[in-house]
Amino acid sequence: MQKRKLGKLAVSEIGLGRMSISANYGPPADRNQGIQVIRTAYEKGVTFFDTAEVYGPHTSEELVGEALAPLRDQVVIATKFGFDIEAGGVPNSQPEHIKKVVEASLKRLRTDHIDLYYQHRVDPKVPIEDVAGAVKDLIQQGKVLHFGLSEASAQTIRRAHAVQPITAIQSEYSLMERDPEQNGVLKTCEELGIGFVPWGPVGMGYLTKEIDAHMKFDPKTDLRSEFDRFSSENLAANMPVVDLLRRFAEKKNATPAQIALAWLLAQKPWIVPIPGTGNLDHLNENLGAVQVQMTSEDLREIETAFSKITVQGGRMNEMQMQVVDQTV
C-alpha cells in the first residue's frame, strides 16, 4: 500500500468508507465485526477512514472512534457535517450549526481533532463562503485540520477554496459513473491542487461479481432499492459494463472489483477511492487492487470498449439528486 497526497494530506492510496457499516446498503454489520474490519484494514496499510455524522445516524462515527482510538496518531479520519439530524435530516450548514455539531463528532470519534472535515452536501441557503469561513475558524482552533466538500460543483469549489483552501473533494466516481470528468470537477481539482475521493468506486457494489439482474434490495435497509440504476431492468441493461470488467479481470488474474479500483487509481495520482465493506473477504479483495498494474494500453482498451456502452438509469433517486450541487 503506497501513500498518495490529497492536497497536502498524506493518506493510503485506498481508504475505507464507513457508510455501509451502519446500514444503507443492507442491514448494519455486527459491531465487533465492524471494528475488526477497520483494524484489519489498518494492519494491511490503510490509514484513511471516512465516516459522517448522518451514517446511522451517529453509529458509524461511534464505531470508527472505538476502532481507531488505540491507533489515533497513525490514521487520518474524515467525517462530514451538513444535515440537521434533529430536524429530520434537512440540509443545515449555518456556521453556528457547524460549530455545534463538530463538538458531537469529536466526542463520538474519541479525538480532539478531525483530520478532514467535509460539507456533506452543499446547502443552497448558506453562502459557501460562510461555510468555508466557519471551517477556517475550526482549523484555527485546531479542532479540524483540513477542509473538504462532497458533491460540490466546480464553481462552488472555486468560491470555497478562495476563503479556505480545500484539501479534497468527494463525489461518486467509477467506471460507470463519469460525471466528475464531464462537469469540470476533476479539471478544477487538478488546477487548484485539490485531491479527489471517489465514493461508490465499485458502482455501489454493482461492479463486483455479487449483483445480477435478479437481485432484490430490501427497501427497509438498502437505499439502492429506490435508485433507478438498481431496478431489475437497469441491472440487466448495464451488465455489459460488468462483462467488460470481467474480461479484463481474467486477463489480469484479478476480480472485477479490483479492476474497477485499479482503473480509478490509474486515472490521476491524487485520486483516492474509498470502497466500503463490512466483510473481511471483500476488504482483502478491494485492497488487492493496488497489485493490479494498468498500462496506458489497458486504459485505452477499456475506454474504447466502454464508449460503446450506454449506462442506463440515474445514479441516485430524485430526492437525493436534489441535494447534489449542480451549479454551472
Provide the annotated active-site residues.
Answer: 55
Q: Which three cell numbers stand for residue 166?
A: 480545500
Cα 237 from Cα 173, distance rounded (Å):
20
Tell me, what amino acid is at 30?
Answer: D
Residue 317: partners with Cβ closer than 8 Å, 6 or more residues away: 226, 227, 228
| E-only strand ranges, the chain | 3-6, 9-12, 16-17, 48-50, 76-81, 83-84, 90-91, 114-119, 144-150, 166-172, 195-199
Q: Distance (Å, rounded) from C-alpha 76 to C-alpha 11? A: 7
Helix (H, G, I), strand (E, B) or coil at 84: strand
**What gap in Å lies between CA 108 and CA 67, rounded to an integer?**
11
**Quick one: how far is CA 48 from the chain centroid?**
11
SS3 assignment, position 4: strand
* Lookup: cell for 32: 465487533
Spatial contact of 268 and 196, defined as CB atoms under 8 Å apart: yes
Residue type, 52: A
Q: DSSP letters of 99-146?
A: HHHHHHHHHHTTSS-EEEEEESS--TTS-HHHHHHHHHHHHHTTSEEE
Distance in angstroms (rounded) separating the CA atoms of residues 11 and 1: 10
Q: Exposed (0-12), middle (13-18) or buried (19+): which is 309, by Cβ within 10 Å?
A: middle
Distance, CA of 190 to CA of 323 (rounded, Å): 24
CA–centroid distance for 75 within its chain? 17
